[in-house]
């Protein structure tokens, strides 16, 4: 008998307010393990805030977040990383003065560096291989000695994904992974993420503006509008909804 694993992410009744502005208003989201799920919606809909709540960067005012069946609502962000959550930001956060390779190594140190076992066990040396693999996975091997500041926007975003990947997450959060990329870089990134998902079967939750990207990657869509979920479903079905077209698709085409 096989048992179904718990959902990778389960957000229930989440409310998040910023100084009287309700960014998330009773949001529900369920992402089954192994799914590529996209959260779409216009600017200011609450997508990045929802990611911050899932990653543990913001504590919700109400509601709960479960990751792989575990209630993490009050768990700190760095502990969620250990529980298998890694994220890349809408605006890539990399160390401009460091090389590509150093940035990915720093991601490992940031995740494990407070552990004595890491340092005494030669963690840095043992990190070399996963670092090289993450760079290969994102096709950054040739650029590994380049300073991050010299990268194109697309390469920088891919570097940030590599910094998340090196942690071998079970859940990868990508906030607008193709923001600021050229159409060629966008297409290449979609392919890389798709390949990655095919290899690893990890759960990917992404927000995206570009509908081509969404339809190229996501198996399920959730539409957010003004902090509330308008609907969740199959991309082909969601796309045809009149209300979705009105608030989002209509506005972008």
Ligand X SMILES: Nc1ncnc2c1ncn2[C@@H]1O[C@H](COP(=O)(O)OP(=O)(O)O)[C@@H](O)[C@H]1O
**Least gap, CB of 47 to Mg ion (angstroms):** 5
**Least gap, CB of 179 to Mg ion (angstroms):** 9
Cα distance between residue 87 and residue 71, in whole Å: 19
**173 is a contact residue toward ligand X (CB under 6 A):** no
Start-end of H helices in the chain: 47-55, 77-82, 100-112, 116-120, 123-126, 128-137, 153-165, 183-200, 211-217, 235-240, 242-244, 250-252
Handedness of CA 35, 41, 46, 48 (dihedral sign): positive
Partner in contact with 23, chosen from Mg ion, ligand X, none, beta carbon below 5 to 8 Å by kind: ligand X
Stretch touching ligand X by CB under 6 A, among 37-45, 74-82, 104-112, 113-121 = 37-45
Comparing CB distances to ligand X, the nearer of 9 and 104 is: 9
Q: Which residues contact 227 (CB under 8 A, 6 or more apart)?
A: 16, 22, 23, 24, 25, 27, 45, 46
Of residues 43 through 72, those in contact with ligand X by CB under 6 A are: 43-49
**179 is a contact residue toward ligand X (CB under 6 A):** no
**88 is a contact residue toward ligand X (CB under 6 A):** no
Partner in contact with 95, chosen from Mg ion, ligand X, none, beta carbon below 5 to 8 Å by kind: none
CA distances from 119 to 100, 122, 128 (A): 22, 5, 14
Of residues 41 through 80, those in contact with Mg ion by CB under 5 A are: 47-48
Q: What is the greatest pairwise CA distance in the chain?
A: 59
> Which single residue is written with the structure tokens 């991601």?
107
**87 is a contact residue toward ligand X (CB under 6 A):** no
CA distances from 81 to 17, 55, 75, 177 (A): 24, 8, 10, 19
**18 is a contact residue toward ligand X (CB under 6 A):** yes
Q: How many residues in the shown chain lie near Mg ion by CB under 5 A?
A: 3
Stretch touching ligand X by CB under 6 A, among 40-48, 100-108, 177-185, 195-203 = 40-48
Comparing CB distances to ligand X, the nearer of 45 and 229 is: 45
Residues at the site binding Mg ion, with contacts judged by CB under 5 A: 47-48, 90
Residues at the site binding ligand X, with contacts judged by CB under 6 A: 18, 21, 23, 41, 43-49
């Amino acid at each position: 008998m096989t048992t179904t694993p718990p959902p990778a992410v389960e957000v229930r009744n989440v409310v998040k307010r910023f100084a009287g502005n309700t960014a998330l208003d009773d949001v529900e989201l369920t992402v089954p393990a192994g799914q590529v799920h996209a959260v779409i919606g216009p600017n200011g809909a609450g997508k990045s805030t929802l990611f911050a709540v899932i990653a543990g960067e913001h504590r919700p005012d109400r509601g709960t977040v479960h990751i792989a069946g575990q209630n993490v609502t009050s768990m700190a962000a760095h502990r969620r990383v250990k529980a298998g959550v890694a994220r890349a930001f809408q605006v890539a956060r990399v160390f401009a003065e460091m090389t590509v390779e150093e940035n990915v190594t720093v991601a490992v140190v940031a995740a494990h560096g407070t552990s004595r076992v890491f340092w005494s066990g030669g963690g840095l040396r043992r990190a070399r291989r996963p670092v090289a693999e993450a760079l290969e996975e994102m096709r950054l091997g040739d650029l590994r000695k380049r300073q991050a500041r010299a990268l194109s926007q697309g390469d920088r975003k891919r570097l940030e994904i590599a910094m998340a990947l090196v942690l071998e997450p079970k859940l990868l959060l990508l906030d607008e992974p193709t923001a600021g990329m050229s159409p060629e870089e966008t297409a290449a990134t979609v392919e890389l993420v798709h390949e990655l998902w095919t290899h690893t079967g990890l759960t990917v939750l992404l927000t995206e503006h570009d509908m081509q990207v969404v339809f190229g990657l996501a198996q399920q869509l959730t539409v957010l509008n003004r902090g509330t979920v308008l609907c969740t479903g199959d991309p082909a079905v969601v796309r045809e909804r009149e209300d979705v077209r009105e608030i989002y698709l209509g506005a972008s085409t």
